[in-house]
Structure 1
Amino acid sequence: MEYRLDLFAVFMFLGIVQAVFLCVFFFSKENRKSDANVFHGLMLLSMALCLVEIFLMYTGYIVKCLYLVDFSEPFPFAIGPCFYLLVLSLIHGKVEKKHYWHLAFVLVYTACIVPFLIQPEVVKYNSWIESYQPGLPLKEYTYDRGDGRIFWITDHHTLLTLTSLALYLVLSLIEIIKAFKYRKESFLRPANPVLRKLQRGVLEVISVIVLILVIKMYNVNDTGDHWLAAYLAVTIYLTSFSVIGQSGFFRQPSLAEPQKYKGSSVTPELHRSLLQKLTEVMEQEKPFLSAGFSLPDLSTRLGTTVHTLSQVINEGLGKNFFEMTASYRVDEAKKLLKERRNIKVEEIADQVGYSSKSSFNNAFKKITGMTPSEFRASDVFPADGAD
C-alpha cells in the first residue's frame, strides 16, 4: 500500500516536534522546580505520544513498526489528571503528593493492555486495518484466545477517555470557581493572568471533549482521529506562542545600547504620573496580595506597557518589580504579625501573596534581617494588651 503524506500528516508531525521541544524546557532543571511546569510538561508529553501513534496510523508508516499499534492508549488518561494537578499548582503553588494517585489509572490501563501489546504482529496489523483502512482485506489468523483484549476497559477506550476528561474538568472547574470567587473576578473577563490561563485551559478541555464526541458520532470505527490529532497539534502550537510571548528574547538590548532604557519614550511628566498612580494602586488596591500578581497584570491595571512600567519602577523606586512586590508584601505581613498574633505564619504568608512558607521566610528575612517568627517574638512591637 502507499503511504499517505498530506497536510494533516505534516501538521501532526510538526505538532509532535513542537511538543517535544516544549517538554525539554518544561522539564529543564530550573523550570521543573515549579509543579505547574512539571504537570504542564507531562500533559504535553501525553499529547505528543498520542500524536505519534495517530501519525503512524494515518500515514501508514505503522507497518514499519507494528509493535507500536495502540501503544499510546493509556496516555489520554493522563491528560485530565495532569490538567487538574496543573490547576491545583497554579492556584495553590504546590501540589501535595497525596494528589498523585490521580495518575494511578494510567498504570492500571497500561497493565490491562499488556496482553494485547504482546500479541503477534499479524494481530496488530489487522487491528490497524479495521480502524484506519476498513476497505483493505485482513490477514488470515486463527484467534484461538482472542486478540489479547481480555479486559472490559480496553474495549471501551473512547468512553473511558471521555469520562476521564469530563470528571477532571468538573474537578478543575470546582477549584477554578473557588479561585475566581476568592479573587472576586469574573470568569468571562478575568484580570489576573493566572486566572486567564485557567479560563483558557477550561475552554480547551471542553472543546476537546466536544470534538471527540463529534468524531465518534460520524466515525464509529475510529477513523477520523486525524481531526483530533490536528486539534491537539493546534493546542501545542498555542502553548508555544504563549511561551514565546512571555519570553524576554525579543526585548534584549544590543551592545550599542549600554544604558538599560536608552532611547526610552517615557517623558518626565509620564514618569511622575505613572509613579504616582503605581503608588496609589499598590497602597489602596493592594494587588500584590494575589499569589498570581505579575508585572503584565500590573501594567494592565495602570494602562501602560510592561517595558515602560519596568523602567518607572527601576528608576523611580530604585528596585526591580520583584523587589518592590516583596517590600509591599513584607510591610503588609508586619502589620498582620502585629495585629493578628493568633494567626499562624503560614496563613499570613498566604494572605500577603506567597504560595509557600519558605519563599515568605526568605523574602521577610532579606528585608528585615529576621524571620517572621523571630519578628513576632521580638520587641519590635509591644505584646498584646500593652500600650
Structure 2
Amino acid sequence: METTINIWIMLFFAFAIQAFVLGILFFLKRKGDRVANNIFGVFLLLFSYNQLFNCAYWSAYEGAYVEHMSFTNFIPWVSYGPLLYIYIKRVLHKTPFTWRDLRHLIPVVWIFWVFGRFYFLPHATKVEVSATNTYAEYVNWWPIPRQYMTYTITFLMLIYVVKIYSLYKREKNKVTELQRFWIRSLWICFTGYTFVFFTYFMLIYFQLMTISNDYLIGYAMVFFIGIVSYFSFMQPSIFSGTIPIPFAKYQNNGLSSSIAVEMKDKLVSLMEADKLYLDNSLTLDVLSEHLNLSRHHTSQLINEHFEVNFFEFVNNYRIDEAIKLLQDKKSRLNINQIIYATGFNNRTSFYNAFKKKTGISPKSYRNKIT
C-alpha cells in the first residue's frame, strides 16, 4: 500500500511533536513539584507516541521496522488513566507514593502479560508473524479474547474518569480555585478523549467507519494537546506542577474578597502548619509559588490582611519561634544556633527583628526569664 500524506496527518504529526516537546519541558523544569512534573511529562510523551503511531497507521507507512510498533499503542491506552489520576492526586495532596499506589500499574503489567513476548521478538520473526498472521503463537489473549481488548480498555478509561472526578470532588477544598480550574480542565479533556475513543470503536463495531471519522481520535488528541499547550505558553508557571490559571477578573486588578480570604487561610496554614518561615531561602517569589499567586498579589495579600510587608511578616513568625526556643529551659541551643534554627541568615537581621518585636535583645530576654 502506498504511503499517503494529507493535511490532517501533517497536523496530527505537528501536534505529536508539540506534545513531545512539552513532555521534555516537564522533565526539565526544576521549580515546583518535580515528581508531579515527571508524571505529567511521561503522560505527554506517551500521548505523543500514540499520535505518531496513529500517523503511521493513517498514512499506511511501511518503514523497515514498522512491525516493532505492532500492539504498542496499547501501552499508552492503559497508562493514560492511571498516570492522570496519580498526577492529580499528587497535585491535591503533595504526599509521597505508597505501596497502594502500585496497584495503578496493574493495567500496564496486564498489557505486557498479553503482548510482552511479541514486543521483544527479533524483527525478522515479527515480519514472518505479520505475513502468516500467526500472532496467537506469541500473544496471550487469555483471559480476554482479542476482539474484546479495546472494549476492556475503554471500560478501564471510564473507571478512571469516575475515579478522578470522585477524587476531585472529595479533595477540591484543599486547593485553590485556580488549581481546581486546571484539574477540571484536565478531567474534561480526558473525559472527552474517552468518549471519542468509545465512539470510534462503536463505529467500527457497527461498520459505520468512514475516512472522515477515522480521524476522530486524532481530533480529540489534538484538542487535549492544544489545551495543555495553551495553558503552558500563556502561563509558564503551569510547569510548577500546581498551576495558577490566568483569570481575567484579577489579572490586572486586586484579588477578589472571596479569593483573598481563601488565600489568607492558606498562607496562615503554610506558615503555622508547614512552618515555611524556617527555610532561610524563603523569598516572596517562593511563597507566591506555594500560594499559586503572582508576586504582586502575594505582596498585596500580606500588606492588606496582615498590615506588614513580606519581610516583617516572615520575621514575626521567626521571632515567635526564637522566643519559644529561648523559653524552653530544656533547650541547649545558644543564641547563634537559634538564629539559624529559626530561618535567619545572619546575626544582625535576627537582633534587629527581635528587638523590634520585643523591645530588648535576645540575650537580655534570656536573662530576664531565667
Which interval holds the TM-score relative to the shorter structure? 0.5 to 0.7
Q: CA deviation at 1:92?
A: 0.9
- The separation in 2 between residues aligned to 1:202 and 1:57, in whole angstroms, is 28
- The separation in 2 between residues aligned to 1:226 and 1:234, in whole angstroms, is 13
Q: CA deviation at 1:113?
A: 0.6
Q: Provide closer, same or farther for how the CA distance between residues 63 and 195 of structure 1 changes in structure 2, counting only shifts above 3 A.
A: same
Equivalent position amino acid for 1:235 in 2: F
Which of 231, 234, 238 lines up with 1:242 in the alignment? 231
- The separation in 2 between residues aligned to 1:192 and 1:334, in whole angstroms, is 31
Contiguous gaps of at least 5 residues in structure 2: 238-252, 271-286, 325-339, 351-364, 366-370
Equivalent position amino acid for 1:91 in 2: L
**Higher helix content, 1 or 2:** 2
1:61 counterpart SS class? coil
Partner of 2:140: 150
Alignment of 1:174 onto 2:175: no
- The separation in 2 between residues aligned to 1:174 and 1:329, in whole angstroms, is 40
Alignment of 1:195 onto 2:180: yes
Q: What is the aligned-residue identity percentage?
A: 14
Q: Check whether the contact 1:27–1:38 (CA below 8 A) recurs between aligned residues.
A: yes
- The separation in 2 between residues aligned to 1:330 and 1:45, in whole angstroms, is 46
Q: Which segment drifts farther, 87-96 or 67-76? A: 67-76
Q: CA deviation at 1:286?
A: 3.0
Alignment of 1:100 onto 2:102: yes
Partner of 1:352: none
- The separation in 2 between residues aligned to 1:230 and 1:61, in whole angstroms, is 20
- The separation in 2 between residues aligned to 1:20 and 1:310, in whole angstroms, is 34
Q: Provide closer, same or farther for how the CA distance between residues 123 and 324 of structure 1 changes in structure 2, counting only shifts above 3 A.
A: farther
1:96 counterpart SS class? coil
Q: Check whether the contact 2:75–2:108 (CA below 8 A) recurs between aligned residues.
A: yes
Q: CA deviation at 1:18?
A: 0.8
Contiguous gaps of at least 5 residues in structure 1: 125-138, 184-190, 249-272, 300-305, 318-322, 339-361, 370-380, 382-387
Which of 182, 206, 215 lines up with 1:226 in the alignment? 215
Equivalent position amino acid for 1:288 in 2: L
Equivalent position amino acid for 1:286 in 2: D
Partner of 2:343: 365
- The separation in 1 between residues aligned to 2:154 and 2:3, in whole angstroms, is 31
Q: Check whether the contact 1:88–1:95 (CA below 8 A) recurs between aligned residues.
A: no
Partner of 1:28: 28
- The separation in 2 between residues aligned to 1:91 and 1:100, in whole angstroms, is 18
Equivalent position amino acid for 2:139 in 1: R
- The separation in 1 between residues aligned to 2:7 and 2:179, in whole angstroms, is 34
Partner of 1:251: none
Equivalent position amino acid for 1:108 in 2: W
Give the RMSD, CA atoms, in angstroms.
4.6
Structure-2-length-normalised TM-score: 0.63
Partner of 1:11: 11
**Where in structure 2 are the equivalents of 1:1-387 lying within 5 Å?**
1-28=1-28, 30=30, 34-64=34-64, 65-98=66-99, 99-117=101-119, 118=121, 120-124=126-130, 141=132, 143=134, 146=136, 148-152=138-142, 153=144, 155=146, 156-182=148-174, 192-220=177-205, 226-247=215-236, 281=260, 285-289=264-268, 306=294, 309=297, 324=310, 327=313, 331=317, 365-366=343-344
Q: Provide closer, same or farther for how the CA distance between residues 182 and 142 of structure 1 changes in structure 2, counting only shifts above 3 A.
A: closer
Equivalent position amino acid for 1:151 in 2: W
- The separation in 2 between residues aligned to 1:329 and 1:171, in whole angstroms, is 43
